[in-house]
Amino acid sequence: MRLILCFFLLLNSALLFANNKKDTLVKENPLLKIYNSTNLKKPIPFNRQLFHDRIDKEQDRVDLLDGEDDEKVSLANEKMGDSLTICILQQVDQMQTMIENLPFEQLTPQEDNQIRIKYLTVLWNAMRRINNYTDATVAKIYQDVDLTKKALIARYENKIPEFVKVHTDFNLYNQIDLLDGFNEEKRYLVKVLADQDPMRMYRHIGELNDDVITNQIIEKVVVVAPNEIFNYYSSSNTVLKSKILKSPNIFVKTIVRIVNESKTPLKAMPFLSDIAAHKITIDKVDEITSNPDLYFKNLVQIKITQQKDTSDTYTTELSYRALAYVRSMNELHEAKDAERFKCIEIMSPQDLYFIMLYGQDEIYTSSFIGTFKRMLARMDTTVSGDSLLASLHYQYFRTFIRMCAGYNTLNEFLATMQESKSITLLTDFVSNLEAGKADDLEGAVNVADAFGSISDSTLSKFLRNQVKENYERCYTIRNKKGLYIYAILAALFDGLNNPKANIGKLLGLPPVYFMPYADMVNDSGKVVEHFFFYGDEDGKASYASFLNNFKDAAKWQIQTNKYWVQINSKTGKPIEIYANLPLSEPEDETAQKALVAYLKENSIAVTMLVHRGHSYHLPTTIEQLNNKTKIVMLGSCGGYHNLATVLKMSPDAHLISTKQTGSKDVNEPILKEINDRLLSGEDVSWVTIWNELKSQFETRSTAEQDKFNDYVPPHRNLGSLFIKGYKSIVARKTNKK
């Protein structure tokens, strides 16, 4: 009882102190009563009522959201309705009263009237802006109304400079008319924001009337994104073009010249720095860009010499053109080498390096091997592997080593250099993976993927030791990211060929070596599979091969409509399979969208998703992943960015990938093994399935064996397991805090 009494005495003291403090504040600033007043001191003059009516009209737009003009917003979401009632109706009313009650003793009646009209106009503009939002939230509306009141008070107290410094952010910029009449403060706000985020401010240059600030923004943007300047100047918007033309910056002026003088302006943009420095003329650039091979070779040289250039205008173009060579070689995969690799005959080792690198998502094994061998041949005995990488400033060297390991050419590449150099290279390959932002894991994923492909025991042992040494280094320097990375890599390497190591348990993951049947069943008690087919010749052939798996009428029921086929199991556990028809392009996309819409409308949760098409179709398939998808078969999906995207959408998914475009000769046996187990209600054991498939393919041709060996089962997809493990360990450490 005594404790309760003490508590109430303390509470009363706190309330008394709070009230005394409030009284003190009011005495210190008597205007607080006016700022929060709800009763008019005197009637509103007729000549100002019009401005109040405008504000009231905007309030009515909110009031009528529920269909009734009753000074209350009644919505299905009661809290939201109550919040809008308080914020838009009551608080804005209070601001109107505040504006009328503010004392302006030193002003003439005419000046008094004009300043109140100005304040009412500021409030009216704020209300109009809020009502025109397309992405409004209650929190955003509250923030804007609160900012409007603070701006009005700051104007009254002649404290706009202090107000702007406190609220220097994009929220104030979005309401910049609150600063009407304060041009210096507007300029300060825009300048600070331009320094913080020039790209974001660049989108607003059409609204800015200050050439000094506009030029500063443009000068910052041309360094990081010159193509944005190109796009604005190439547009039909005369206001934007005029702003670009006013810039004195040499690179901006050069972009204007490129647009006006080049025959192929967009192709000429990678040469921006050299044209600006008068190292090359626009006519000479046009001559280069007219020859695809010469253009590519020049892009490679720009990439090498300007590899620290933040604008990097050439990388997208270089990637696009490298991929064109890869596709050409892939399409000629049945032709003789002389014909197949003719397109890269004039390429230097550096050129070939970037062709392999930028073609990684689509390159066939044979295309990589052919390109790799030509690279080594042109290196001859005069250029070692380490000197080649040095000439390239070691750009993307971890990705290249990972690819070499994946295509079993790493030892061959290492043999081109002295042993001490190869040791240094592999040491660098594994070292400093903790560098960069917390979510920058590409280097570590490359190391994990490379290790999963290495069969050389000496090399494998060396990399294990490097992982251990780097773990100890990160422990010494207390680098958490490094500790996580190297601990996970060590666990993956130890458990690669040892299921007893239980990687899943060690990393806090669900089972790694098998997919439980229970996880494959959706809320409807079914396993649902979704196949994506495309309308090219390969897609049609794959679809025909796919259907052959279900020709046994005693086991499967097939129903086909205009856009897709539905296949249901008639024996065993329920399996429901959906596949769009491979209609000729672009109808294949229509069929896919129709099937996706059907699955969504009927709340059919897909637990297995299969991509049957070239990797350039992959983004369309990946979009359909969700957190219920447990098995994903995506063809060439080894690249870090694809892996990261897949696991973001389907964090618990087991991934089956291949180093090249999926082959129906391998896809069908894999899918049959999976479905046989699901029909029986068994867990899908990847170790068992891969051992059985390996035995099957040993009796087939070497070409078919090579295709099978290109496939990576989920338990050996170390890149995927690394990303999962890293996310898991970070989440666990965060939750412990």
- For the chain, the domains span 21-202, 205-290, 326-352+362-507, 515-736
pLDDT in tens, 244-261: 999 999 999 999 999 999
Which helix (H) or strand (E) segment is 303 a member of?
Answer: helix 292-305
Tell me which amino acid residue 691 is: N
3-state secondary structure of 3: helix
Q: Angle CA(574)–CA(576)–CA(579) in degrees, nearest 5? A: 160
pLDDT of residue 136: 62
Residue 485 to residue 295: CA distance in whole angstroms = 40
Residue 113: C-alpha distances to residues 35, 44, 155, 157, 245 (Å): 18, 11, 15, 17, 43
As a whole number, mean pLDDT of residues 368-376 equals: 95
The two tokens of residue 692 are: 């059985």
> Of the candidates 324, 270, 300, which has an alpha carbon nearest to the alpha carbon of residue 392?
300
> What does the mean pLDDT of the chain come to?
85
Contact residues for 397 (Cβ-Cβ < 8 A; gap 6+): 389, 425, 428, 429
The residue among 449, 453, 448, 307 whose CA lies nearest residue 389 is: 307
Q: Which pLDDT belongs to residue 262?
A: 97
Alpha-carbon distances of 645 from 129, 398, 625, 640, 642, rounded to whole Å: 37, 20, 10, 9, 5
**Other CB atoms closer than 10 Å to residue 12's CB: what's the count?**
10
More confident residue, 33 or 693: 693
Tens-place pLDDT, residues 507-566: 888 888 899 999 999 888 999 999 999 888 878 888 998 998 898 999 999 999 999 999
Predicted pLDDT at 535: 86
* Angstrom distance (rounded) from CA 124 to CA 122: 5
The answer, yes or no, to whether residue 364 has pLDDT greater than 90, is no
pLDDT of residue 566: 96
* Residue-level pLDDT at 8: 29
Mean pLDDT for the stretch of residues 390-411: 92
pLDDT: is 293 or 503 the higher one?
Answer: 293
Mean pLDDT computed over 677-683: 95
Structure tokens at 107: 């002003």
Per-residue model confidence (pLDDT) at position 586: 86
335-344: b or e for each residue (b if 16 or more CB lie within 10 Å)?
Answer: eeeeebbebb
Give burial (CB, 10 Å; 0-12/13-18/19+) of 140. Answer: middle
Q: Give residue 183's pLDDT.
A: 83
Q: How many CB atoms lie within 10 A of CB 412?
A: 15
Give the whole-number percent of the chain exceeding pLDDT 90: 46
Q: Quick one: pLDDT at residue 21?
A: 41
- pLDDT value, residue 357: 94
Cα distances (Å, whole numbers) of residue 24 to 21, 35, 101, 272: 5, 16, 22, 65
CA atoms within 13 A on the CB side of 491: 24
Spatial CA neighbour of 386 closest among 344, 345, 446, 427: 427
